[in-house]
Structure 1
Amino acid sequence: MSARGASPPVASVVGVARRRQLLPLLLLEAATLLSGTGNGVALVALPWIALERTGSPTAAGVLAAATALPLLLSSLFSGTVVDLVGRRRTSVGSDLLSAVSVAAIPLAAAADVLSVPVLVALAMLGAVFDPAGATAREVLLPAAAERAGWRLERVNGTHEAVYGVAFLVGPGVGGLLIGLVGATTTLWVTAAGFLLSAAAVTALRLPGAGPPVEAERPAGVWRGTVEGLRFVARDPLLRAIAVVGAALVALYLPMEGVLLPTHFSALGAPERLGAVVMALSGGGVVGSLAHAQWGHRLPRRGTFVTALVLTGVSILGMAALPPFPWLLAASFATGVAYGPIQPLTNLALQRRTPERLRGRVVGILVASQYAAGPVGYLLAGPLVEAVGLRPAFLGLAVALLAVACAALLARGLHGFDDPPAGPPAPGGAAGPGQPHPVAAAPPRAHGAAPPG
């Protein structure tokens, strides 16, 4: 048989092998997309329900703060739970429990028992389960990158772009469905997203996805969490990232969770709220994909602080509440500017954290950002009622820009350009002919990124 005749079968075998290498990464990103889309729907539906039933932005702020409090506690310990139980088990169990808690809201509405306290209680219950599932999936990214043969910069940028797509689709769908079927019925889409995410992770097969070996398990939830806290506290870069991230979340989340819903609720335009969040996420997709393509060529600290300052400037443009087309443009610019920040944060964690601490460090970094969220939420509603929507929005935006400018002077952020904390891992996820970009045990962390 000629070489020409033998080529198609060889090409077919190579193609099948390549698809098998990519399958874990595709399943992981499918789960991220599905659960993120459901959360994007809830992002606009939950505050809308509170505003419908009370007409008060303070009620929306209380709901958001009540949701953030269990997020703080559960994210603090969820990483240790992941390291104890295993990543696939934690992800599937968390998604199933989240689906049940979200589905209970439209069921309670159908039974005419959905008061604001019941809504707050169910939202808090759903918030308890979500961080563990997100953490469990995301700490598997380096293994999926290694299987696929992708650079970590490319995987991180792509992963954040997938989050952006989820929050591009979810809020837009949520805003449209609120107008068509009502806010409570819309939450069935969130429940469906969690169920489909659980199905995708169930099919996932990767090293490290199953139960951890006994020698690598933390010695209990509390002791394991303390060990992770000490690791973060002793690392100057991770400590600086935690402080900056907490400040960003405290100032930004009330804008998206209270101020923008209040503005568009007064206009009677839920679809415009969805469009603004979609513009934020669309810009984030562009920024993340650009970093995935070219980020490995740029200085990490310079890119990080520049992106922070540009994000602050863009949010200041949003805070002026200009005519709707300009608000959309400012929202898109905010997303583009923020795009590189989370992939760079993820890469720093991957390069500096041992694998056995992966889940704990992820959870602690997320918890550090959620810790300031409830304060911002609780202050936002009364601030709007005291000084008005636009002055409150501008005040938060100016404070956020000041934090971004202060990051220019943060000495800990110089660690972005340090070499990896350990020797290269054999067989890692570097491109052909490229040095491996991570330490021997790379983790993946998810912070509460402002634009979705």
Structure 2
Amino acid sequence: MKIVPFAYLTSYLLSLLGNSIAAIALPLIVLQTTGSVMGAGAVAAATAVPAVAAGLLMGVVIDRINRRTSSVVTDLISAVAIGALPVIDRISGLTLGWFILCGIVGSLGDVPGITARETLLPAVVRHGGVSAERLMGLREALGAVGLLLGPAAAGTLMVLLDGSTVLWITAGTSLAAALLTLLIPHRVGATDGTGAGAAEAGSGWSQLRVGWRALLGSRFLLATTLISLASALVLASMQGLVLPVHFSLTGEPGMLGFVLTALAAGMLLGGATYAALGTRGPRRVWFVSGLLGTAVGFALIGSLASTPIVLAGAVVAGVSGGLFGGLLGVLMIERIPEHLRGRILGTQNALMTAVLPAGIVAAALLTEYAGIRVAAVALASLWLPALLFGLFARPLRNLEPEPRAMPVREVVTEGA
């Protein structure tokens, strides 16, 4: 494998691994330091809104500068935000305010970092000698590896080391991701100064609205975004509340880890399969297989019939998600105008970030007022309209490569 895709995929894995470790370790460190459960919740709540806002607004910046540079900078922001905590602890001691402040700073690198790395994908395909299908399949597989290793690494590190050392390690993964991204030549991340984006003028807000109009004006992009949001909503509600409550009620709290491992293992298998075979056969077959497989997986999980059935559903949903995610990534590479990538992907990622807590809140309300089984069935059923929409929506019938890049005017007015 050439240096460009190798550096990209390795930095992606390290960045994801660091985020996964931080997601588990940081709340525990806040709890150990402040002794307050509410404090851990306050840090999460205080960083959620800035993360969504940064995801929306930073897309304009990412479209204006070198894509490799934006990826490096966002990883460095994450590294500094986490690395500052043990320094502050040594100098003056950590308080809840410091955790919130560093969390807000770190949120400026989280969602924008995802967007920055995704804007690099077309350039990695062009300069890396790798097909989009292979690259996206490997990316999905490595994402599953990060989900498998992150929580286990966080738990192990918290047992063996003190909180400050764990924070240094977490910051080190983000720093290593930034350094690996620097192995990608600067020219690979250059934006096209001669394309349609060069003619854009006006304030950052007006340029942001151009990206929103492109997203909302394209039936294809809008359809794929809605389906992705539906999948994220169901998964977040199941992982974040329904399954933890279910296994607590059945006296098997440890099974939650096995179910999440099964989901990640399925994603690994699905991503690897798409990397190896994604160029074969019609894309519509891959798409429909992913939709139907996800429906089966969600139905098995939502049934809560027995632990083996829930485990099987997690594997099926994971495999289908790996296939589906790989194909969607390829389509995003091909069909988002290059000069609008930061704004469109930034909006999609911000919406994805916002829908995760929304799914957990919806699950909590349904569980409180209707019971855990009704909540599980109702939330799994949310995939049904997404499935029907994906199967019959006209913009999703032809997924083969387009003969030419779609100009921005066509994207904005498509389907009008």
TM-score normalised by length of structure 2: 0.81
Deviation at 1:162, TM superposition (A): 1.8
Gaps in structure 1 of 5+ consecutive residues? 1-18, 424-438, 442-452
1:127 to 89, 97, 107: 107
Total equivalences in the alignment: 402
> Which residue of structure 1 aligns with residue 404 of structure 2?
422
Greater Cα shift, 71-80 or 100-109: 100-109
Distance in 2, matches of 1:321 and 1:177, equals 33
Distance in 2, matches of 1:86 and 1:47, equals 34
> Structure 1 residue 26 and structure 2 residue 6: aligned?
yes
Q: Which amino acid aligns with 2:332?
A: L
> Which residue of structure 2 aligns with residue 378 of structure 1?
361
Deviation at 1:70, TM superposition (A): 2.9
2:275 to 285, 289, 292: 292
> Which residue of structure 2 aligns with residue 200 of structure 1?
180
CA 1:183/1:237 → structure 2, altered by over 3 Å: closer, same or farther? Answer: farther
Q: How does 1:21-420 map to 2 (within 5 A)?
A: 22-46=2-26, 67-104=47-84, 113-115=94-96, 119=99, 122-181=102-161, 186-205=166-185, 207-210=187-190, 213=193, 216-217=197-198, 218-219=200-201, 220-260=203-243, 273-321=256-304, 327-417=310-400, 419-420=401-402
CA 1:310/1:252 → structure 2, altered by over 3 Å: closer, same or farther? Answer: same
Q: Which amino acid aligns with 2:404?
A: G
> Which residue of structure 2 aligns with residue 5 of structure 1?
none
CA 1:81/1:265 → structure 2, altered by over 3 Å: closer, same or farther? Answer: farther
Distance in 1, matches of 2:118 and 2:219, equals 23
- The answer to whether the Cα contact below 8 Å between 2:227 and 2:386 also exists between their aligned partners in 1 is yes
Q: How far does the alpha carbon of each residue in 1:104-123 deviate from its partner, in whole angstroms, 9 at most, with x for none?
A: 556677876454x7655544
> Which residue of structure 2 aligns with residue 445 of structure 1?
none
CA 1:93/1:236 → structure 2, altered by over 3 Å: closer, same or farther? Answer: same
Partner SS for 1:207? helix
- The answer to whether the Cα contact below 8 Å between 2:123 and 2:189 also exists between their aligned partners in 1 is no
TM-score normalised by length of structure 1: 0.75
* Root-mean-square deviation over aligned CA pairs: 3.7
Partner SS for 1:203? coil
Q: Which amino acid aligns with 1:420?
A: E
- The answer to whether the Cα contact below 8 Å between 1:44 and 1:171 also exists between their aligned partners in 2 is yes
Partner SS for 1:298? coil
Gaps in structure 2 of 5+ consecutive residues? 409-416
- The answer to whether the Cα contact below 8 Å between 1:144 and 1:206 also exists between their aligned partners in 2 is no
Distance in 2, matches of 1:195 and 1:244, equals 34
CA 1:300/1:261 → structure 2, altered by over 3 Å: closer, same or farther? Answer: same
Q: Which amino acid aligns with 1:39?
A: N
- The answer to whether the Cα contact below 8 Å between 1:168 and 1:278 also exists between their aligned partners in 2 is yes
Distance in 1, matches of 2:40 and 2:388, equals 30
- The answer to whether the Cα contact below 8 Å between 2:266 and 2:319 also exists between their aligned partners in 1 is yes
Partner SS for 1:416? coil
Greater Cα shift, 86-95 or 318-327: 318-327
Q: Which amino acid aligns with 1:193?
A: T
Deviation at 1:391, TM superposition (A): 4.3
CA 1:390/1:311 → structure 2, altered by over 3 Å: closer, same or farther? Answer: same
